[in-house]
């Protein structure tokens, strides 16, 4: 019986249990009505409770069993191998087990199997069969017992509703825990790998080195050079700054127009249209940069006698700026609209014009929130990958010239992690150190932005 | 406390008081919000250096009319004003008249205190800076001090002019807003229920302030509180459903109303 069939069966049991619970609770309600009893919970809750008990313990057994079974079976198989064929090292053992598994399933064999191997494979198959049967039987037994017990428990006083509520609460808690644990796990694994990287390369050289040119030298020899992060950090910052230089004026003015000047009809159509910009896949922006913006800037530069490379910090920055416009315009628009009308009236009532009011009262009042919006956009720009992969030129040198090609941390991570990988070498491990640095930078930006935005909120509520 | 105690300022007993010149006047003023006509042709004269109170049930158009007097209705997209409103005989809706100038002459204090989220000093300095009334820091300091003094706030805030205006109490904030309006030397001050968000003590301080100001300014005040109208105003205008029902000396309105609707309102039969 495959897992899929098993799951389907469980679902059917669930539906059945629900119906059983529903029917019984209704019947109980009817029989007790005469004697003045009222059901504590409505029938659906009883149904759900029975369904829960019928399925969840069985599913838990399935999960635990599936996790534990392979290890136990492998141990049993290894134990019955003749002593002369016992593997001596871990690697040997892995290879042998792989081979036995292939033999047992009849796929992927490379050479003739020895007798002892065939015997072991047969034993493996047999154990698998037994395991599955046992598991299915156990699940069936548990499901049936739990169903019957839960079913018989149904009576007018049973607080099924409350029990269901707490079950649901636990379900929600488990889900959020999964999300949190995943984050923690990612950070921890990054930390671990980055730490391994720093056993090869001195952190000082990494954080403050000015050349990025990691060559493939033999692993283990000292003197790993060329892991200076600064050119990448600088490239990242330069592109982000160019992007902000494009997005802040455009986004802010769009926001001011939408919040203060546009008739509500225009606003309600323009805003979603601008927000579409944020939904375009970044790879499309990458094309756009490479095929349209790059050559355009190149020609534009040529007409001024400037040499602008097609793929350059400028190209990537401009296109990224377009991408983050909606982050700034939409958030700022919301924040500007939140500034109370009383504030505007006060200023207008003193004889200020509309634009004076906006400049001197509305924007200062909205400033903390706008700064928050800008920081969020900046952290988005710093973490952006596809646009820079295609349009920044991938040249990790420390240059102050935005018309030159540069490289960023994200691009470098991609480069270091494509192709044949050896996860024991600093050339790959450096990706984790870069990723961690990037993570810390964007995290800080986000925290600062959130703190600012929250502080601003308190001001008017 | 159920019976209404009406007390009048002493000056109004003085019938021999000189006739005041007409400061502002309205002729057949109608206001439309979209297609909805909120005011149905108001005629009114507001005399110089008098306090006129607008009373009437909620939604009858008091605020709407008040906002016609300094063209604050312009800031509402859907609002449209017809008819004639003059200040010193000049049509304030005339194209040649600059609304910026008008609002410097006709200041406004709002229902809810609305200081800018800036320092106390900056709140007062805002208007004078805007209109270029001062050209150096010393003059500005002087304007700020004298405005705060006139609003009776100076002693309370003189040591913390750099503190945010939003940190003051409600009553202080409202006096700050009055000081802010005074700072641009207006001739008329419009107040839309200036005490409705304040406690009784803060309210009486503001009422005293209005009494002091009326020697130098023409004041129009919307109020829900009839005792307040009786205490602070020389004239009272009763609005009902977008019409000006009755306008007379405050004493007359409260002791001898001509219209039955006015009588019903001031005796509390509806409101
Ligand atoms: N901004 C506006 N848009 C549409 N209608 C309004 C607006 N302001 C006021 N009105 C309408 O105009 C009428 C008079 O309102 P208002 O002048 O605020 O009354 P009052 O100040 O006497 O309570 C009311 O019917 C109100 O619904
Ligand atoms: Mg009103």
Tell me which residue range forms the domain holding A29. Answer: 3-158
DSSP-based three-state secondary structure for A226: coil
| Domain membership flag for residue B138 | no
Q: How far apart, in whole angstroms, are the C-alpha atoms of residue B228 and residue A451?
A: 45
Tally the domains of chain A: 2
pLDDT digits (tens, 9 = 90+) for A20-56: 998 988 888 777 666 666 778 888 899 999 999 999 9
Q: Does residue A251 fall inside a structural domain? A: yes
* Phi, psi (deg, nearest 5) at residue A177: -60, -40
Cβ-proximal residues to B38 (8 Å cutoff; 6+ apart), any chain: B31, B32, B61, B64, B242
Domain that holds residue B67: 17-114+166-266
Tokens of A53: 């008990």
Which residue CA neighbors atom 9 of ligand 1 most closely? B64
For testing contact with chain A, the best of B92, B116, B118 (most A CBs within 10 A): B116
- Averaged pLDDT for residues B3-20: 50
Q: How far is CA A334 from CA A74, A248, A255, A418, B77, in A?
A: 60, 15, 8, 41, 20
User: From A354, which residue of chain B is nearest by alpha-carbon distance?
Assistant: B75
3-class DSSP assignment, residue A406: strand
Query: From the CA of B247, how far away is ligand 2's center (Å)?
Result: 18
Tens digit of each residue's pLDDT (9 = 90 or more) over A371-397: 889 998 999 999 888 899 888 888 888
Q: Do A351 and B118 touch (CB under 8 A)?
A: no
Instruction: Map tokens 């001050």 to a residue.
Output: B189
CB B216 within 8 A of CB B147: no
> A14: which residues sit within 8 A by CB, 6+ positions away?
A51, A54, A55
Please identify, among A124, A158, A192, the residue that sits at the C-terminal boundary of a domain: A158
CATH (domain of B84): 3.40.50.300
Here the tokens at position A429 are 């491990």
Q: Based on the domain organization, do A251 and A355 belong to the same domain?
A: yes
Co-location of A257 and A374 in the same domain = yes
Q: Indicate whether B161 belongs to any domain.
A: no
Which residues does chain A have within 8 Å of residue B101's beta carbon, measured at their own beta carbons?
351
The model's pLDDT over A280-316, given as tens digits with 9 standing for 90+, comes to 999 999 999 999 999 999 999 999 988 888 899 999 9
Chain B closest-CA separation from residue A355 CA (Å):
12
| pLDDT score at B92 | 94
Tell me, what's the pLDDT at A148? 93
Q: Cβ B117–A364 below 8 Å, yes or no?
A: yes
CA pseudo-torsion sign B104, B107, B109, B110? negative
CA distance A104 to A81: 15
In a domain, B12, yes or no: no
* Rounded to 5°, angle at Cα A72 from A66 and A74: 105
Question: Which residues does A319 contact at the CB level (< 8 Å), separation at least 6?
Answer: A285, A286, A288, A289, A293, A387, A391
Spacing, Cα B38 to ligand 2 middle (Å):
12
B 133-192 residues inside an 8 A Cβ radius of A: 166, 177, 180-181, 184
For the CA of B76, the nearest atom of ligand 1: 1
Q: Is residue A118 part of a domain?
A: yes
Chain A interface includes B132 (CB < 8 A): no
Q: Kindly list the residues from chain A whose CB atom is less than 8 angstroms away from the CB atom of residue B70.
A: 349
The first and second tokens of residue A85, run together, are 């064929």
What is the percent of chain A where pLDDT is above 70?
A: 94
Candidates B65, B59, B76, B24; CA nearest to B45 is B24
Q: Is residue A202 part of a domain?
A: no
Q: Is residue B141 part of a domain?
A: no
Looking at the structure, do residues A391 and A267 belong to the same domain, yes or no?
A: yes
pLDDT (tens digit per residue) in B112-128? 999 998 999 999 999 99
Read off the pTM: 0.74
In a domain, B142, yes or no: no
Please give the share of chain B, as a percent, with pLDDT higher than 90: 75
3-state DSSP of chain B:
CCCCCCCCCHHHHCCCCCCCCEEEEEEEEEEEECCEEEEEEEEEEEECCCEEEEECCCCCCHHHHHHHCCCHHHHCCCEEEEEEEEECCEECCCCCCCHHHHHHHEEEECCCCCCCCCEHHHHHHHHHHHCCCCCCHHHHHHHHHHHHHHCCCHHHHCCCCCCEHHHCCHHHHHHHHHHHHHCCCCCEEEEECCCCCCCHHHHHHHHHHHHHHCCCCEEEEECCCHHHHHHHCCEEEEEECCEEEEEEEHHHHHHCCCCHHHHHHHCCCCC
Q: Which of A261, A343, A351, A357 to mutate to test the interface with B (most CBs of B within 10 A)?
A: A351
| pLDDT band with cut points at 50, 70 and 90 for residue B14 | very low
- Residues of B whose CB is below 8 A from A351: 99-104, 127, 130-131, 184
CA of B67, nearest ligand number: 1
- List pLDDT tens digits, range B155-178: 999 999 999 999 999 999 999 999
- Are B130 and A361 a contacting pair at CB < 8 A? no
B77 and A263: CB-CB below 8 Å? yes
Mean pLDDT over A350-360 rounds to 93
pLDDT in the model for residue A110 = 66
Q: Which helix (H) or strand (E) holds A260?
A: none
Which residue minimizes the CA distance to atom 6 of ligand 1? B33
Categorize the per-residue pLDDT at A278 as very low, low, confident or very high, splitting at 50, 70 and 90: confident
Residue A256 token pair: 């001011």
A193 pLDDT exceeds 50?
A: yes
Which residues contact ligand 1 via a Cβ below 6 A? B 33, 38, 56, 58-64, 76, 78
Instruction: Note whether residue A234 is domain-resident.
Output: yes
- Contact criterion met (CB < 8 Å) for B116 and A340: no
Domain membership flag for residue B132 = no
A·B CB contacts under 8 A:
65
In a domain, A192, yes or no: no
Angle of helix A160-200 relative to helix A426-460, nearest 10 degrees?
A: 130
Residue B4 has pLDDT above 60, yes or no: no
Asked if A356's CB is within 8 angstroms of B72's CB, the reply is no
In the predicted model, is pLDDT for residue B6 greater than 60?
Answer: no
Torsion of CA A368, A371, A375, A380, to 10 degrees: 120
Q: What is the mean pLDDT of residues A452-457?
A: 74
Reported residue count of chain B is 271
Q: Say if CB A213 and CB A382 are below 8 A apart.
A: no
pLDDT of residue A98: 84
Say if A177 falls within a structural domain. Answer: no
- Shortest alpha-carbon distance between residue A297 and chain B (Å): 43
Residue B17 has pLDDT above 60, yes or no: no
pLDDT averaged over every residue in chain B: 89
Find the mean pLDDT for residues A321-327.
93
Instruction: Report the CATH number at residue A407.
Output: 1.10.3720.10
> Does residue A84 belong to any structural domain of this protein?
yes
Check whether A461 has a pLDDT greater than 50: no
* pLDDT bucket at B22, cuts 50 / 70 / 90: very high
- Ligand 1, atom 21: nearest CA belongs to which residue? B63
Q: Which residue of A has its CA nearest to B98?
A: A351
DSSP output for A25-86: HHHHHHHHHTTT---SS-HHHHHHHHHHHHHHHHHHHHHHHHHHHHHHHHHHHHHHS-GGG-
A233 Cβ neighbours under 8 A, 6+ residues apart: A409, A437
pLDDT score recorded for residue A427:
83
Asked whether the beta carbons of residue A352 and residue B72 sit closer than 8 angstroms, the reply is no
Number of compact structural domains in chain B: 1
Query: Do A340 and B114 make contact, defined as CB atoms within 8 angstroms?
Result: yes
State how far Cα B92 lies from the chain centre.
17
DSSP state of A362: I
| One domain, residues A238 and A139 | no
Q: How far is the CA of A246 from the centre of ligand 2 (A)?
A: 45
């Amino acid at each position: 019986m495959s897992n899929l069939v098993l799951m389907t069966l469980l679902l059917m049991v669930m539906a059945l249990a629900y119906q059983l619970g529903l029917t019984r609770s209704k019947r109980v309600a009817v029989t007790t009505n005469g004697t003045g009893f009222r059901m504590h919970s409505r029938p659906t809750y009883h149904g759900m409770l029975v369904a829960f008990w019928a399925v969840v313990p069985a599913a838990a057994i399935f999960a635990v069993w599936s996790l534990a079974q392979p290890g136990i079976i492998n141990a049993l198989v290894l134990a019955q191998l003749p002593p002369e064929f016992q593997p001596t090292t871990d690697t040997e053992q892995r290879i042998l087990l792989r081979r036995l598994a292939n033999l047992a399933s009849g796929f992927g064999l490379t050479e003739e199997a020895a007798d002892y191997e065939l015997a072991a494979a047969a034993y493996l198959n047999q154990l698998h069969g037994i395991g599955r049967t046992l598991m299915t039987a156990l699940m069936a037994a548990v499901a049936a017992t739990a169903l019957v017990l839960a079913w018989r428990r149904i009576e007018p006083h049973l607080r099924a509703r409350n029990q269901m509520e707490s079950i649901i609460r636990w379900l929600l808690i488990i889900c959020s825990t999964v999300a949190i644990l995943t984050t923690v796990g990612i950070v921890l694994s990054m930390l671990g790998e980055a730490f391994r990287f720093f056993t090869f390369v001195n952190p000082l050289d990494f954080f403050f080195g000015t050349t990025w040119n990691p060559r493939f030298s033999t692993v283990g020899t000292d003197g790993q050079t060329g892991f200076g992060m600064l050119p990448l950090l600088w490239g990242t910052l330069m592109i982000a700054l160019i992007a902000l230089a494009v997005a802040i004026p455009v986004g802010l003015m769009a926001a001011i127009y939408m919040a203060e000047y546009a008739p509500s009809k225009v606003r309600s159509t323009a805003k979603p249209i601008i927000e579409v910009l944020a939904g375009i896949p970044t790879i499309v922006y990458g094309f756009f940069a490479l095929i349209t913006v790059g050559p355009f800037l190149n020609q534009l530069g040529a007409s001024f006698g400037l040499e602008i490379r097609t793929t350059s910090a400028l190209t990537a920055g401009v296109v990224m700026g377009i991408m983050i416009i909606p982050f700034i315009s939409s958030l700022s628009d919301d924040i500007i609209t939140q500034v109370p009308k009383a504030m505007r009236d006060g200023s207008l009532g003193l004889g200020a014009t509309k634009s004076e009011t906006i400049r001197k009262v509305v924007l200062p009042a909205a400033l903390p929130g706008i700064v928050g919006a800008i920081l969020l956009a900046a952290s988005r720009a710093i973490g952006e990958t596809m646009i820079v992969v295609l349009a920044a030129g991938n040249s990790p040198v420390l240059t102050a010239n935005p018309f030159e090609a540069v490289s960023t941390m994200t691009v470098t991570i991609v480069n270091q992690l494509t192709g044949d990988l050896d996860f024991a070498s600093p050339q790959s491990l450096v990706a984790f150190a870069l990723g961690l640095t990037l993570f810390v930078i964007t995290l800080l930006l986000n925290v600062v932005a959130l703190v600012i935005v929250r502080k601003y909120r308190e001001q008017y509520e | 406390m159920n019976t209404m105690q009406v007390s009048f300022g002493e000056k109004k007993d003085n019938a021999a008081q000189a006739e005041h010149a007409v400061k502002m006047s309205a002729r057949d003023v109608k206001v439309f919000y979209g297609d909805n006509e909120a005011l149905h042709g108001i005629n009114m004269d507001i005399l110089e250096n008098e306090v006129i109170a607008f009373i009437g049930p909620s939604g009858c158009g008091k605020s709407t009319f008040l906002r016609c007097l300094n063209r604050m209705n312009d800031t509402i997209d859907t609002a449209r004003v017809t008819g004639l409103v003059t200040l010193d005989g000049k049509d304030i809706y005339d194209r040649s008249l600059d609304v910026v100038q008008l609002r410097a002459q006709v200041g406004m204090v709002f229902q809810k205190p609305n200081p800018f989220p800036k320092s106390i000093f900056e709140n007062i300095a805002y208007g004078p800076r805007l209109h270029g009334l001062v050209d150096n820091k010393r003059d500005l300091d002087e304007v700020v001090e004298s405005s705060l003094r006139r609003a009776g706030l100076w002693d309370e805030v003189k040591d913390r002019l750099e503190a945010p205006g939003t940190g003051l109490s409600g009553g202080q904030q409202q006096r700050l807003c009055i000081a802010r309006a005074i700072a641009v030397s207006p001739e008329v001050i419009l107040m839309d229920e200036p005490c409705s968000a304040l406690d009784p003590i803060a309210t009486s301080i503001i009422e005293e302030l209005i009494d002091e100001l009326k020697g130098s300014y023409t004041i129009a005040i919307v109020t829900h509180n009839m005792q307040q109208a009786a205490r602070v105003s020389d004239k009272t205008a009763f609005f009902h459903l977008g019409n000006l029902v009755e306008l007379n000396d405050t004493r007359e309105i409260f002791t001898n109303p001509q219209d039955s609707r006015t009588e019903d309102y001031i005796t509390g039969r509806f409101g």
